[in-house]
Structure 1
Amino acid sequence: MHVVASAGHVDHGKSTLVRALTGSDPDRLAEEKRRGLSIELGYAWTALPGIGDVAFVDVPGHERFVATMLAGVGPVPVAMLVVAADDPWMPQAAEHLAALDALGVTHGVLVVTRADLADPAPALARARDELARTGLAGVPHVVTSAADAAGTSALRAELGRVLAEVLAGVPAPDPTADVRLWVDRRFHVRGTGTVVTGTLPAGTIHQGQVLHGPGGEVRVRALESLGRARTSVTGVARVALALGGRVPDAVGRGSALVTPGAWLEVDVVDVALTGPDLDRLPERPLLHVGAAQVAVHARVLAPGLARLRLDHPLPLRVGDRAVLRSPGDRVVRGVRVLDPRPPELRRRGAARTRASDLMTLDGSSGADLALRGLAEETLLRRAGLDPDVVPEGCVRAAGWLVDPEHAASVRRRAAEVVAGSGTAGLAPAALAQRLDLPDPAIVEAVGVPGARLVGGRWSAAADPVLPPHLQAPLEALLPELSGFAAPTADRLRELGLDTRALATLDRAGALVHLGGGVVLAAGADDEALARLAELPAPFSVSSARTALGTSRRVALALLGHLDRTARTVRLADDTRRLRPPR
């Protein structure tokens, strides 16, 4: 099934178009009939040749019902923007278009109605100009009127072409995805009990399935789609779920029914914003996501980045699209969730640092891990990230994932802690606690250079054993390792020290291999970090090279090593800052 949302100003003919396309009336409430405008979301459906079933969500155009409109367009990928030839461009049309753009809707059809009442050219030109500034720029258009059968046929054809483009260019929804159904209507049917409706974007709902909602779990006693009873429905689909008689009062418009245990219920999120005035936000805007509307406290972290504190928790994931709306000035901004489990901002300057961190997030597990260092696999999955797609070198242990750079940092710190523990050594749990790690198995998986686990305790190895063929080259090399001067590649080749040999000496703690054939004396990286801490942050490669009194070759290799071991953070402009100790 495909779902198309109509949008546009009140009384511009949206419901009439849907009626002409489907033969069904989307305005079904008595109050809607009496007042002649859509108040609730209306639904009707038809079949298009080569496409299949298409459900239309007819959203209200009146300004008092904008929240209902946002509930209707939220989960759909295709829009039908309707403007009337005999009316000027209206504020609700502008607000609907801004919402569609904010939600990332890029497929649709522009429809100019009432072409029999006025010249449609001015309305078409104005609408084209407005769309040109959005993701709907260049969409096809149709000019028609209520009694124009040819116009209706042309509209059906254009919708078919647009939906074919969606089929060809947009990945099909995953039928095995976790269910999240935003409820947009709740009502009672005699003999059936409570019924809720919504648009299922992905996943599958089965008859008898248990879903989690506010107030507890509910069971799907029966389900229906496109007016027919079903035993299961797979997204994308319009669905009605019969939940029986005992349904928590909190399950209603704006709530979500989800796969139990698969989602994070969050009340603080860090987001990216699009739209006007991104350097300042109203203190109490409204967040619209799915069919939910919740007031939030907004804090700007940097232009285009903000932290939102929700008045009540919602099931949100990385990449979710939403709308931030200021009812007072009717400004609409787009929202994309970057992090649904952000850290607290406690220290002075923490907001600026957090903004820099958020700029590194690209919606992948790898970027999330690089920022956090380590994360539970189940938590990553519930946040909307794939724990099976991680960078090479990631360490897995006891349900945790450790980023390669953080793993290197853990190895280094573990070796230091064990070396300072004396002959008694440390129990695995004690070492994990000293390293601020949640599970001792992580230490064992990462490894502790120069140490071994004997008798249930980590202790320093008495004498790191080097292969005999490396002892003489090392003795010849050590006097040449002074400060931050590194031997040349020719000198290393002369001593017979290739990449594998240097890695062996690095693991034994005999020297520091920075990669690319650049080696320094053991502990030189720690000394470099102390000198870099005296520089104003962020600092450039040039200022780091000057502070260390070394060549650009060594400075670049050393900074790369400090990045990989999670002691410095490389920023977008190639400057760096020290990462606070974990």
Structure 2
Amino acid sequence: MDVIATAGHVDHGKSALVRALTGMEPDRWAEERRRGLTIDLGFAWTTLPSGRRLAVVDVPGHERFVGNMLAGVGSVPAALVVVAADDGWSAQTAEHVAVLDALGVRHALLAVTKADLADPAPVLADVTERLAGTSMGAVPGMAVSAVTGAGLPELTGALEELLGGLPAPDRTAPVRLWIDRAFTIKGAGTVVTGTLAGGSAAPGDRFLLGDREVTVRGVQSLGEAVDRADATARVALNLRGIAVEELSRGDALLTPGAFRTTDVVDVSLTSEPGERLPAEPVVHVGSATVGARLRPLDGAAVRLRLDRPLPLRVGDRLLLRDPGARRVLGADVRDVDPPELRRRGAARQRAAELSAQPDGAAGAVAALARRRVVRAEDFAAMGWPVPPGATRHGPWLLAAGLADELAARVPDVVGRYRRLRPLEPGPPAEVVRRALDLPDAELVPALVRAPLVLRAGRVVDGDADLPPAVQRAVDGIRARLAADPFAAPEAPELGAAGLGVRELAAAVRSGQLVRIGEAVYLAPGIADVARTRLAELPQPFTLSQARQAWGTSRRVAVPLMEWLDGQGVTQRLPDSTRRLR
């Protein structure tokens, strides 16, 4: 399906032309038909001779309803500019064309209507020339009459050619459906309509609407129930989980996690402002209309503080309207998470950054470099692709070269920590996180390089020893245990060797001793040695038999047996005997 919107002055025959093209009445309200004036958005559709399905959004032409007009064209990729042969270029024509130009619309047709009432040639030439200076460029134009039908076949052929040249929509993109109508249907409940510009929608899909999750019960497109609607399409979605009173035009249905709502954005105006910028413009995007406060940064760069958050992405085109004048400005969103401006000259510097910021992958590189580390899903929700050279670690993205830069600082952090706490093997990961100003300790493993290792939640030097005096004492104990694995030194002997509680804890953390119980320390691998000797005993066995097999005292045997129970080497039976597992 393709979607196109009308544009033009009031009473220039937009709705009559839509009726002639589609055979449908686009005006939905009785008041509109009674007054012959489109007030709100109208919708109609038809099948072109090629079989292509076309939906038409008919917008109001009266200046009082320009807000409704903007809601209709905001998500539509092409426009049908309508000018009457008996009236020509008018005030509202100029305003509608200015809107299309500010929105960056590049695909359009010109229809000079009421060709049965006046010679259309002068108007056709005049308007074609005016449109050539806009984003639409050289626009094909033709004279038509909705009354006689003259020119309608040529207009239909031109529509076929125009629609065939539209860029293909991204049907795998996340959904952001700007709602232009919300109503209830008896027996079905809440229904919303909008132009699906990207992605797809099907029954059972879940979307976010504000902070609420809603489920699609059914999908209609062009008045028919469908199993799936793919962009570009006019759709009506029957929603479960929300009442119509909770909805309004300008709300958006969003793929969960794919968009970031923001109330502060940095934008670049599409043209240098020739006049003073409005301090409080009205911002239009999709079908949304929201007030804002504007802060000029420098040149074409401005910052907008929106009255309410919107789901915006880098690259979105906004339209700024001066409520006190017939002036509209286009603005491209450059940053949806801009930095605070606190220092003198920060606004000018920020404008320079935005001016130098490229689009696409190169822009993503610069955006990530400024943020250093960001969650990948948050970065994508801002509208950026994954930049080349970035490091991915779990859910995080690190700027190109940053992982190597931070990894080079880790040895200094470890060395400084060990100088202050020589009995500890190295700093906990949280200490390293704070030292490197990282958002989460789960990033630390990506920065630990040999000979450093991450062990038991600490960054330690795999080649580092204990302080010399402590290491000599531990070496003496290990030499003794090598000759007799169960000859655990007693507390006075440990103290005499200079091994207090802290020194022994350091030896255990370094993996050189194993704490079996209170003041009982043995060498690593003791579980295997103990199991080998117990395997020679008849099963089950008593504590006394185990003690004799180990050749040690009850001071060592009792805590060792309990330790082996805890390690899953042995199993204690109801009669207090044990057996090997």
TM-score, length of structure 2 as denominator length: 0.74
**Separation of aligned partners in 2, 1:435 and 1:47:** 62
1:313 Cα deviation after fit: 1.0
**Separation of aligned partners in 1, 2:4 and 2:162:** 11
Residue matched to 2:219: 223
> Which secondary structure does the structure 2 equivalent of 1:146 belong to?
coil
Residue matched to 1:194: 190
* Shift in alpha-carbon separation, 1:346–1:361, aligned structure 2, 3 A: farther
Residue matched to 1:173: 169
Residue matched to 1:79: 79
CA offsets, 1:553-576, max 9 Å, x none?
Answer: xxxxxxxxxxxxxxxxxxxxxxxx
Residue matched to 2:374: 375
> Which secondary structure does the structure 1 equivalent of 2:128 belong to?
helix
Candidates 391, 404, 408, aligned match of 1:395: 391
CA offsets, 1:115-168, max 9 Å, x none?
Answer: 2222223322321222122111101111122234340000000011111111xx
**Separation of aligned partners in 2, 1:248 and 1:261:** 24
Residue matched to 2:532: none
What does residue range 70-149 of structure 1 map to in structure 2 within 5 Å?
70-149=70-149
Cα contact 1:216–1:248 (8 A) shared by 2: no
Cα contact 1:115–1:143 (8 A) shared by 2: yes
Residue matched to 1:38: 38
Cα contact 2:279–2:293 (8 A) shared by 1: yes
1:453 Cα deviation after fit: 5.0
Cα contact 1:214–1:250 (8 A) shared by 2: no
How many residues are treated as equivalent by the alignment? 456
What does residue range 331-342 of structure 1 map to in structure 2 within 5 Å?
331-342=327-338
1:261 Cα deviation after fit: 3.0
**Separation of aligned partners in 2, 1:342 and 1:173:** 29
**Separation of aligned partners in 2, 1:401 and 1:245:** 35
What does residue range 458-469 of structure 1 map to in structure 2 within 5 Å?
458=459
What does residue range 537-556 of structure 1 map to in structure 2 within 5 Å?
none
Residue matched to 1:184: 180
1:419 Cα deviation after fit: 4.7
2:175 counterpart letter in structure 1:
V
Residue matched to 1:563: none
Identical amino acids, percent of aligned pairs? 50
* Shift in alpha-carbon separation, 1:281–1:405, aligned structure 2, 3 A: farther
1:184 Cα deviation after fit: 0.5
Residue matched to 2:365: 366
Residue matched to 1:431: 432
Whether 1:307 and 2:307 are equivalent positions in the alignment is no
CA offsets, 1:224-248, max 9 Å, x none?
Answer: 1111112321111101122369516
1:33 Cα deviation after fit: 0.6
Whether 1:61 and 2:61 are equivalent positions in the alignment is yes
1:400 Cα deviation after fit: 0.9
1:403 Cα deviation after fit: 1.1
> Which secondary structure does the structure 1 equivalent of 2:246 belong to?
coil
* Shift in alpha-carbon separation, 1:276–1:17, aligned structure 2, 3 A: farther
**Separation of aligned partners in 2, 1:244 and 1:11:** 40
Cα contact 1:222–1:243 (8 A) shared by 2: yes
**Separation of aligned partners in 1, 2:222 and 2:53:** 9
Residue matched to 1:442: 443
Cα contact 2:182–2:190 (8 A) shared by 1: yes
Unaligned residue ranges in structure 1 (runs of 5+): 464-582
**Separation of aligned partners in 1, 2:67 and 2:247:** 18
* Shift in alpha-carbon separation, 1:301–1:407, aligned structure 2, 3 A: farther
Whether 1:298 and 2:294 are equivalent positions in the alignment is yes
2:333 counterpart letter in structure 1:
V
* Shift in alpha-carbon separation, 1:139–1:455, aligned structure 2, 3 A: same
2:96 counterpart letter in structure 1:
H
Cα contact 2:257–2:377 (8 A) shared by 1: no
Moved more, 259-268 or 295-304: 259-268
**Separation of aligned partners in 2, 1:69 and 1:43:** 12
> Which secondary structure does the structure 1 equivalent of 2:151 belong to?
helix
* Shift in alpha-carbon separation, 1:37–1:47, aligned structure 2, 3 A: same
**Separation of aligned partners in 2, 1:450 and 1:349:** 45
1:66 Cα deviation after fit: 0.6
CA offsets, 1:163-192, max 9 Å, x none?
Answer: 1111xxx2x323332211111012233333
CA offsets, 1:501-555, max 9 Å, x none?
Answer: xxxxxxxxxxxxxxxxxxxxxxxxxxxxxxxxxxxxxxxxxxxxxxxxxxxxxxx
> Which secondary structure does the structure 1 equivalent of 2:245 belong to?
coil
> Which secondary structure does the structure 2 equivalent of 1:348 belong to?
coil
* Shift in alpha-carbon separation, 1:426–1:105, aligned structure 2, 3 A: same
* Shift in alpha-carbon separation, 1:404–1:235, aligned structure 2, 3 A: same
1:366 counterpart letter in structure 2:
V
2:357 counterpart letter in structure 1:
T
**Separation of aligned partners in 2, 1:415 and 1:96:** 63
* Shift in alpha-carbon separation, 1:34–1:279, aligned structure 2, 3 A: closer
Cα contact 1:182–1:290 (8 A) shared by 2: yes
1:412 Cα deviation after fit: 4.4
Candidates 348, 354, 372, aligned match of 1:352: 348
1:28 Cα deviation after fit: 2.3
**Separation of aligned partners in 2, 1:156 and 1:197:** 26
Cα contact 1:338–1:363 (8 A) shared by 2: no
Moved more, 281-290 or 446-455: 446-455
**Separation of aligned partners in 2, 1:218 and 1:210:** 6
Cα contact 1:214–1:248 (8 A) shared by 2: no
1:222 Cα deviation after fit: 2.2
* Shift in alpha-carbon separation, 1:165–1:253, aligned structure 2, 3 A: same
**Separation of aligned partners in 2, 1:305 and 1:272:** 5
Unaligned residue ranges in structure 2 (runs of 5+): 465-581
CA offsets, 1:85-137, max 9 Å, x none?
Answer: 11142121111111111222101111111222222233223212221221111
> Which secondary structure does the structure 1 equivalent of 2:294 belong to?
strand
Whether 1:239 and 2:235 are equivalent positions in the alignment is yes
CA offsets, 1:451-495, max 9 Å, x none?
Answer: 6656754467989xxxxxxxxxxxxxxxxxxxxxxxxxxxxxxxx
Residue matched to 1:482: none
Cα contact 1:279–1:304 (8 A) shared by 2: no
**Separation of aligned partners in 1, 2:75 and 2:41:** 13
Cα contact 2:184–2:244 (8 A) shared by 1: no
1:405 Cα deviation after fit: 3.7
Query: Which has the greater radius of gyration?
Result: 2
1:306 Cα deviation after fit: 1.3
**Separation of aligned partners in 2, 1:459 and 1:294:** 54
**Separation of aligned partners in 1, 2:240 and 2:375:** 37
Whether 1:319 and 2:315 are equivalent positions in the alignment is yes
Cα contact 2:182–2:244 (8 A) shared by 1: no
Moved more, 439-448 or 264-273: 439-448
* Shift in alpha-carbon separation, 1:20–1:294, aligned structure 2, 3 A: same
**Separation of aligned partners in 2, 1:416 and 1:330:** 62
Residue matched to 2:265: 269
TM-score, length of structure 1 as denominator length: 0.74
1:368 Cα deviation after fit: 1.9
Cα contact 2:142–2:154 (8 A) shared by 1: yes
> Which secondary structure does the structure 2 equivalent of 1:26 belong to?
coil
> Which secondary structure does the structure 2 equivalent of 1:404 belong to?
coil
* Shift in alpha-carbon separation, 1:245–1:433, aligned structure 2, 3 A: closer
1:23 Cα deviation after fit: 0.9
